Amino acid sequence: MKPEILSVANIPGFDFPLMESHFTVHKLWQAQDREKLLAEVASRVRGIQATGTAAVEAALIERLPKLEIIACCGVGYDGIDVAAARRRKIPVTNTPDVLNDCVADLAMGLLIDASRGIARGDRFVRAGKWLKGGLPLAARVSGKRLGIVGMGRIGRIIARRASGFDMRIAYHARHQVADVPFTYHAKLVDLAANSDYLVVIVPGGKETFHLVDEAVMRALGPQGILVNVARGTVIDEAAMVKCLQEGVLGGAALDVFEEEPKVPEALWALDNVVLVPHIGSGTRETRAAMCKLTIDNLVAHFSGKPLLTPVG
């Protein structure tokens, strides 16, 4: 008998046929009546496949008496109640490293787009407006000051990408990182005040909720650009809208939002904002690697082997 896995969330590119070759998979996200499906399979489920933002709450964990592992397809796992899993000694895995390059690439792409007005220019040309005149001048990227909020795996790669643009790099993190050469700011507001661009790449969750508040955005200033490839909850979204509308924040480029897929309509009309639908890891190559690592963790567990990427 194949171990039974509860899939609580889909992610584009996930290889369900591969997972189904190893396990019996129950797709909760596809069920018309989720309560009915849970009632039927809860007593047999031994694993959960989730994504970083999918809710795997204590109530669900406690409802599955035979649950042995939660495998998250994503580097972030703030949607999973890790404390509740630990109380039952249930390991949680994620998919670090395999998506680092793609997220860093997107961060730089968003930064350049917001600064040079690429998406805005595309809309301008498609609307036939170029026939009536050109766009306002944009801002140069090379040689500017980049502040990175978070200096973990992805933060380091963003810094490496930015170094190719001769950017002056500084960062804020909970603690100073010993093996990086960049300027450290213990206070985020100080980093913002000394940056032209602020790229956010920290985990979501309670500890970072609204870390980037109105004071930080005002410090970044009317020429500054805020880039978020972390979690929507890290930025005070209402304060950001206010700052953008008032002109005290120069622009924003956002891959994530507080209540995805809902995006504040006030952002739609702003030409100094770039909006994309949480595509940081959204390449065929990276999603395939994330999927494989998720499944490999499940296979390792049920084969009695060490987990490849356990959380904590």
Domain-wise residue ranges, the chain: 4-98+284-302, 100-275
In this prediction, residue 312 carries a pLDDT of: 79
Would the pLDDT of 54 be above 90? no
In this prediction, residue 115 carries a pLDDT of: 98
Would the pLDDT of 238 be above 90? yes
Asked if 4-98+284-302 and 100-275 have one fold, the answer is yes
Q: Report CA 4 to chain centroid distance, whole Å.
A: 29
Q: Give percent above pLDDT 90 in the chain.
A: 97
Would the pLDDT of 113 be above 90? yes
Separation CA 62–CA 161 (nearest Å): 44
278 is an active site residue: yes
- In this prediction, residues 265-273 reach a mean pLDDT of 95
Q: Assign 18 a pLDDT band (cuts: 50, 70, 90).
A: very high
CATH code linked to domain 4-98+284-302: 3.40.50.720
The CATH-assigned architecture of domain 100-275 is 3-Layer(aba) Sandwich (3.40)
Parallel, antiparallel or unpaired: strands 92-93 and 145-149: unpaired
First to last CA, the chain: 31
In this prediction, residue 55 carries a pLDDT of: 86
Q: Assign 49 a pLDDT band (cuts: 50, 70, 90).
A: very high
E strands in 208-293: 225-228, 251-254, 273-275
Catalytic residue, from 40, 259, 260, 285: name it. Answer: 260
153 is an active site residue: no
Catalytic residue, from 46, 218, 231, 301: name it. Answer: 231
Would the pLDDT of 70 be above 90? yes
